[in-house]
Structure 1
């Protein structure tokens, strides 16, 4: 059952999200950092990424809370309140993309001028 604050700790990352942004993977794109929907497990790219899929998912579904899907990070962001939470409940594993996956990623799809495209 989903908690009222939009977090369901029992839901694992969905689709290809265990390794990357679901929509970027489908389109052959790339991402800077990954974010996980704390309600349904959707993994999308951050707002510094070209496509901003995590925010689009929150807007389209009404799922307000994301967690970083980067190794070593466990912060949450609430889109409804624009609040950052340094920690929260432990979500179902995996809690980040694989350690051997580069950031930005995925390997082989990041343009050489990636830093310039994020400006």
Structure 2
């Protein structure tokens, strides 16, 4: 495990979307998510590891896109799957309106 992320050059998304409808994969499959994460390489929105399908992690593994950011209100943390480290990236700006979690309904 690294003491810092060595994949910052993979970041393409520096402005968060204004709104997302939910986890892209859960919406396509009729699944449910708990929390939402965005891939900072391509903008794919997936669900967290506390969700049944863990789509954010699955996306990172299948694409080798290393860094996600939380889209949850009040959260601005990022996670690098390769270096296994959490951190903040102040250059990623904006906030995203998200729907309520279907798991909490």
TM-score normalized with structure 1 length: 0.70
Question: For residue 67 of structure 1, what is the aligned residue in structure 2?
Answer: 69
Q: Which aligned segments of 4 or more residues in structure 1 are displaced greater than 3 angstroms?
A: 9-13, 89-93
Question: For residue 13 of structure 2, what is the aligned residue in structure 1?
Answer: 9
Task: Show the 5 A alignment for 1:84-99.
Answer: 84-85=86-87, 87-91=88-92, 93=94, 95-98=95-98
Note the alpha carbon deviations across 1:46-72, whole angstroms, 9 max, x for none.
Answer: 000000000000000010000001111
- How large is the RMSD of aligned CA atoms in angstroms? 2.2
Query: Which structure is richer in relative contact order (CA contacts within 8 A, separation 6 or more)?
Result: 2
- Larger Rg belongs to: 1
**Alignment partners' CA distance in 1, 2:34 and 2:90:** 25
Question: For residue 4 of structure 2, what is the aligned residue in structure 1?
Answer: none
Number of residue pairs the alignment of both structures matches:
97
Structure 2 unaligned regions, length at least 5: 1-6
Structure 1 unaligned regions, length at least 5: 113-119
